[in-house]
Amino acid sequence: MDDKDWLMLQVISEEKNITKTAERLYLSQPAISQRLKNLEREFGIKILHRNAGGVSFTSQGEYLLDYAKVMLTQYRDVKERILNMENTVQGTLRLGTSSIFAHYELPDILRGFREQYPQVEVFLKTGLSHTINRALLRGEISVAILRGDYIWNEGQLLLRNEPICLVSSSPIELNDLPNQPQISYKTDGPLYDIIQEWLRQSFSHPPLNPMEVDNMDTCRQMVLKGLGWAILPEIGLQKHDNLYTRALYWKNGKPLRRKTRLLYQHSSLELSVVKAFVDYISQCCLAP
């Protein structure tokens, strides 16, 4: 069993399909099947159950998968440490960010970073912040950019502390919000909870005819067309949009805010690519 087998098992666990696994690994389906047969013969076990929906791991296969994931992590760490001994900034930056930050902010950041450090490759994982947080805790990534508040006792930098705003195509009175259509979008739990709590504190009944879309950009476009109002963090607002925006406050006068932080383990700064990225972010992207 070697690193190719470890990677194959991990991809199978993600895809749950042999054909898709072969496509991702640029191998033929018979080649994947043969590797699986060799592993089953080596360990004397059955690794997968095949069914109409794809494949799933047997209990012995799950145990072997866990081993493969550990070995992949150790193998990757060894490669990174060896590259780090060259005293140059090279290797792979394993970065995870929230999808919203990746959409609005990350492209310019990565372009500038890659221009300064052309020998660095970037492994990027995006998703909801709680998913990226789990990837950081599991050691799948070295640096995470998360929106919202997460318990973290290691290194962190505050990148944004933005207001959460009422957004509409024309001025609207707060008292009139329940009588106008609200447009919401699917977001992570912490921001959803903040918005719902503000609405509960502010009004005795929910908004009229609420609409829900799948992302912030679609929500903003609906508001631009005058189809309703929305509550959006500032990151989702474009300077060229002709929108009425109003920062929101709790009853005690404190503003509704959405924080974005960069998180990393102190020990990961021993890797030149991680230290270079953290230093780059510190110089260009910190909240005022």
State the CATH number of the domain containing residue 116: 3.40.190.10
Pairwise pLDDT comparison (2 vs 134), residue with the higher score: 134
Q: According to the model, what pLDDT value does residue 168 have?
A: 93
> Looking at 32, 64, 82, which one is the last position of a domain?
82
Q: Are residues 70 and 184 in the same domain?
A: no
Tell me the whole-structure pTM to 2 decimals: 0.71
Structural domain count of the chain: 3
On the question of pLDDT at 285 being above 70, the answer is yes
Q: What is the mean pLDDT of the chain?
A: 89
Question: Is residue 250 within 8 Å of residue 256, measured between CB atoms?
Answer: yes
Q: Are residues 40 and 75 in the same domain?
A: yes
Share of the chain above pLDDT 90, in %: 47
Q: Which of 48, 50, 51 is nearest to 62 (CA)?
A: 48
What's the pLDDT band for 207 if we cut at 50, 70, 90?
A: confident
> Looking at 67, 82, 97, which one is the last position of a domain?
82
Q: Print the domain residue range for 199.
A: 162-258
* Residue appearing with tokens 């929305």: 230
Question: Is residue 88 within 8 Å of residue 119, measured between CB atoms?
Answer: yes
Under 8 Å CB-to-CB from 281, ≥6 apart: which residues?
A: 109, 157, 159, 262
Q: According to the model, what pLDDT value does residue 287 have?
A: 74
On the question of pLDDT at 239 being above 80, the answer is no
Q: Are residues 155 and 264 in the same domain?
A: yes
For residue range 150-159, list pLDDT tens digits in order: 899 999 999 9
Q: Are residues 139 and 173 in the same domain?
A: no
Q: Are residues 18 and 73 in the same domain?
A: yes
Query: For 58, left (φ over 0), alpha (ψ -120 to 50), or beta?
Result: beta
> Looking at 82, 111, 143, which one is the last position of a domain?
82
C-alpha distance from residue 91 to each of 78, 81, 94, 157 (Å): 12, 9, 10, 23
* Residue appearing with tokens 């999808």: 99
Q: Are residues 127 and 265 in the same domain?
A: yes
On the question of pLDDT at 245 being above 80, the answer is yes
Q: Are residues 69 and 10 in the same domain?
A: yes
Q: According to the model, what pLDDT value does residue 71 have?
A: 87
Q: Are residues 149 and 168 in the same domain?
A: no
What's the pLDDT band for 84 if we cut at 50, 70, 90?
A: low
Share of the chain above pLDDT 70, in %: 97
On the question of pLDDT at 87 being above 70, the answer is no
Distance CA 52, CA 199 (A): 45
Q: Are residues 97 and 237 in the same domain?
A: no
CA dihedral 149, 232, 192, 195 (to 10 degrees): 100
Q: According to the model, what pLDDT value does residue 165 have?
A: 93
